[in-house]
């Protein structure tokens, strides 16, 4: 760790994560355009949103192990370049299958970015600022995806291909920019024991539960934000630009929750309680969000409030990860395991909601989120028990 926190480098690294998250936001806002231009069904279009996390869902912990073996700055730059080139290739895709393949390639680059940044943050933050820095890192996803949802309709005015092209060029340009700000760091020596390190992380009491909680959270987050534009356009009759504005504001609210988490952690709020509160709100709010009787302003307000409270969850997980990791070499693996859960939720959430809506209509969607609430509460209470065993009777944070 650094003797003094280099806040400029922290900001640059969080911005790198946001550039990666742009690729998620662009797909969410482009769903109606993709359906029109490529003739995709809602379910297939939802795979364009959800398949971004396919590789992370399967290989997250192994990707974290590989990232730990290499210099993290170089991994970050390669990840940004892969993301940019894949996005440019996607702009040239003639059909949905080709576009889906380029999205998987983008997912590889994205995974390299979000697994390398935490190790770099660990080197530029002093110990007393670590919780705050890692909680701020959790902002990258909602802030990046929301910003692209906000700007996406303007960029996509000539068509969705322009949106893909601009994002590709931006990722390549930012790779060149961040290379000037972030210094190279040597890989940790113990990362050569890859299988041993994976076993150490999996055997630890916390990381698997963090991954489970993260996966349940992202299932809800990406289901809601990924298909909210389609809900607003198909059911409530909004234009794409207006739907993008509403969706962006609700996703941005999630970033506020991430920032609030840092303060709550410093005040000693238990992670399990923060997670449980978020899951309860997730389950109840669906009945308002998917109501056909409420006006758009009420639906947007409820969605935003839901994402503020649920936004406490990922920031808390990122802040807890260094506490549950024995060394810097294992941090990428712990984050990688969390990304397994995160990307699995990202992959399945939009597809499950789309299938649910296609089978039962939008009125049936809230019951899927009730299931999310039940699963989330079970995971949160299990985490409480694990923390108590780890910290003694007084433990619970």
Range of the structural domain that residue 242 is part of: 7-391
Q: Determine, yes or no, domain membership for 396.
A: no
Q: Determine, yes or no, domain membership for 276.
A: yes
Across 122-136, 365-379, 380-394, which has the greatest mean pLDDT? 365-379
Contacts of 376 (CB under 8 A, 6+ apart): 213, 216, 217, 275, 276, 278, 279, 282, 283
Q: Determine, yes or no, domain membership for 342.
A: yes
Contacts of 237 (CB under 8 A, 6+ apart): none
- Given a cut of 60, whether residue 395 has pLDDT beyond it is no
pLDDT in tens, 50-60: 776 666 777 66
Q: Determine, yes or no, domain membership for 95.
A: yes
Of residues 205 and 283, the one with the higher pLDDT is: 283
Across 3-7, 144-148, 280-284, which has the greatest mean pLDDT? 280-284
- Given a cut of 90, whether residue 183 has pLDDT beyond it is no
* Number of domains observed in the structure of the chain: 1
Across 62-71, 167-176, 262-271, which has the greatest mean pLDDT? 167-176
Q: Determine, yes or no, domain membership for 387.
A: yes
pLDDT in tens, 1-21: 556 888 888 999 999 999 999
Query: Which of 41, 40, 46, 55 has its CA nearest to residue 28?
Result: 46
CA dihedral 285, 291, 297, 303 (to 10 degrees): 30
Q: Determine, yes or no, domain membership for 46.
A: yes
pLDDT in tens, 93-131: 999 999 999 998 998 899 889 888 988 888 888 877 777
Q: Determine, yes or no, domain membership for 152.
A: yes
What CATH number has the domain bearing residue 42? Answer: 1.20.1250.20
Q: Does residue 261 contact residue 138 with C-beta atoms inside 8 Å?
A: yes
Burial class (CB in 10 A: 0-12, 13-18, 19+), 130: middle
Q: Determine, yes or no, domain membership for 149.
A: yes
User: Which whole number is the average pLDDT over 351-359?
Assistant: 87
Range name among 173-177, 210-214, 345-349 with the lowest pLDDT average: 345-349
End-to-end CA distance of the chain: 24
Q: Does residue 154 contact residue 174 with C-beta atoms inside 8 Å?
A: no
Query: Which of 259, 379, 354 has its CA nearest to residue 314?
Result: 259
């Amino acid at each position: 760790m650094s003797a003094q926190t280099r806040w400029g480098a922290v900001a640059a690294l969080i911005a790198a994560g946001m550039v990666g998250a742009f690729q998620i936001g662009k797909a969410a806002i482009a769903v109606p355009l993709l359906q029109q231009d490529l003739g995709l069904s809602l379910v297939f279009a939802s795979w364009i949103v959800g398949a971004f996390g396919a590789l992370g869902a399967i290989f997250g912990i192994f990707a974290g192990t590989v990232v730990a073996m290499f210099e993290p700055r170089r991994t970050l730059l390669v990840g940004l370049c892969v993301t940019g080139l894949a996005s440019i290739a996607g702009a040239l895709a003639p059909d949905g299958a080709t576009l889906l393949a380029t999205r998987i390639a983008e997912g590889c680059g994205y995974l390299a970015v979000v697994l390398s940044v935490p190790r770099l943050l660990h080197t530029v933050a002093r110990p007393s600022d670590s919780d705050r820095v890692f909680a701020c890192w959790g902002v990258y996803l909602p802030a990046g995806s929301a910003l692209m949802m906000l700007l996406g309709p303007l960029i996509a005015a000539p068509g969705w291909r322009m949106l893909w092209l601009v994002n590709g060029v931006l990722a390549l340009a930012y790779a060149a920019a961040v290379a000037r700000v972030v210094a190279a760091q040597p890989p940790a020596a113990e990362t050569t024991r890859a299988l041993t390190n994976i076993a150490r992380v999996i055997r630890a009491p916390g990381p698997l539960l963090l991954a489970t909680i993260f996966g349940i959270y992202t299932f809800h987050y990406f289901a809601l934000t990924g298909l909210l534009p389609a809900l607003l356009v198909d059911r409530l009759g909004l234009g794409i630009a207006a739907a993008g504005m509403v969706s962006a504001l609700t996703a941005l609210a999630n970033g506020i929750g991430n920032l609030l988490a840092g303060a709550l952690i410093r005040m000693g709020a238990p992670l399990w309680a923060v997670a449980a509160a978020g899951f309860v709100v997730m389950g109840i709010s669906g009945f308002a969000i998917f109501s056909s009787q409420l006006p758009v302003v009420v639906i947007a307000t409820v969605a935003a409030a839901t994402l503020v409270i649920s936004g406490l969850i990922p920031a808390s997980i990122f802040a807890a990860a260094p506490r549950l990791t024995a060394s810097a070499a294992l941090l990428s693996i712990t984050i990688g395991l969390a990304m397994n859960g995160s990307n699995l939720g990202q992959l399945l959430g939009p597809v499950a909601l789309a299938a649910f809506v296609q089978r039962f209509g939008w009125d049936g969607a809230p019951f899927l989120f009730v299931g999310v609430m039940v699963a989330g509460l079970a995971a949160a209470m299990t985490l409480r028990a694990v923390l108590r065993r780890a910290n003694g009777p007084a433990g619970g944070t």
